[in-house]
Amino acid sequence: MAKRALVSGGAGFIGSHIADALLDRGFSVVVLDDLSTGRRENVPAAAEFVELDVRSAEAARLVREGGFDVVAHQAAQIDVRKSVTNPVHDASINILGALNLLEGVRGAAHRPRFIFASTGGAIYGDFVTPPNREDYSKDPDSPYGIAKLAVEHYLAYYGRIHGVEGVVLRYANVYGPRQDPHGEAGVVAIFCNRLLDGRPLTIFGDGKQTRDYVHVKDVAAANVAAATASLPDRGRLDARAMNIGTGVETDVLTLANTLRQVSGRDVPVEFAPARPGEQLRSAVGIEKVQRVLGWAPQRSLADGLRETFEYFAARRA
């Protein structure tokens, strides 16, 4: 019998690619999404779709009674700026939603492995020097990062006290096909649309701020590895936390120029005032995930950006 997986947020950008990858590995997949930001057309045809809010009693019941082997929890409020504007709303989804599903796991007769999508950028803050390792101090500067770190602590607790088998994947800046122009990595989608419109690419500040851009299909492969690999002892906060990125810092100006090159669109670059509080440098070390899960990114930035631009171009055709 095929293993059974639940992907919360599986109608979204990252979650839908994870659902695809799990199906390709022979899993039976159920997608849980309230379609507040996800799109029904992103859900793979071979997956079962359930429209629910992750905070609902029905979602907890689905986890508890669904007979799942793994839950890949991707559903989240993903906009850092929105978390600053409305931290209560952010916490209601990003903390209480995760706890609701974890309570479902705790009550299941056969407890599924719980894969939590955390953040490899916002969780470390600007007080450490990249590439950030898993055991670096965590000092997030936003309610979004604080919520992600809180759930990591809860997951460690559920491991120690309730025997829940959890793993944390701290994503760098994920980009690729199906991306919406939200969050920090959303700059790739924004730039692709501007290139197609023939409009200038706007860079805030001097363009030297760096991020670690990782392709969504590589992230999906990391989730499959986390769903199937043997894991180290549970319980400690960082024991099962792994960064998912490339380990490479790419500044925004280089990103813009690479996209202009691979797209063949020679639009100008314009500069706007820097945004207050923006993180200056971000990249994650990936030695641990290579050692524990045998995972490494497979796509170069140029190839990944070319594929992403071609996706947006095809949508316009």
Residues with catalytic function: 144
Is the CB of residue 22 less than 8 Å from the CB of residue 226?
no
Longest pairwise C-alpha distance within the chain: 59
Amino acid at 292: V
* 195 alpha carbon, distance to own chain's centre: 25
Instruction: Say how far apart CA 83 and CA 141 lie, in whole Å.
Output: 11
Instruction: Say how far apart CA 70 and CA 263 lie, in whole Å.
Output: 38
Tokens of 167: 């793993």
Tokens of 193: 């649309």
Tokens of 299: 């796509």
Instruction: Say how far apart CA 246 and CA 73 lie, in whole Å.
Output: 22
Rounded to the nearest 5°, which phi and psi values hold at 37? -130, -25
Tokens of 16: 């839908």
- Any idea which residue has 């479902």 for tokens? 104
Quickly count: other Cβ atoms within 10 Å of residue 2's Cβ.
Answer: 11
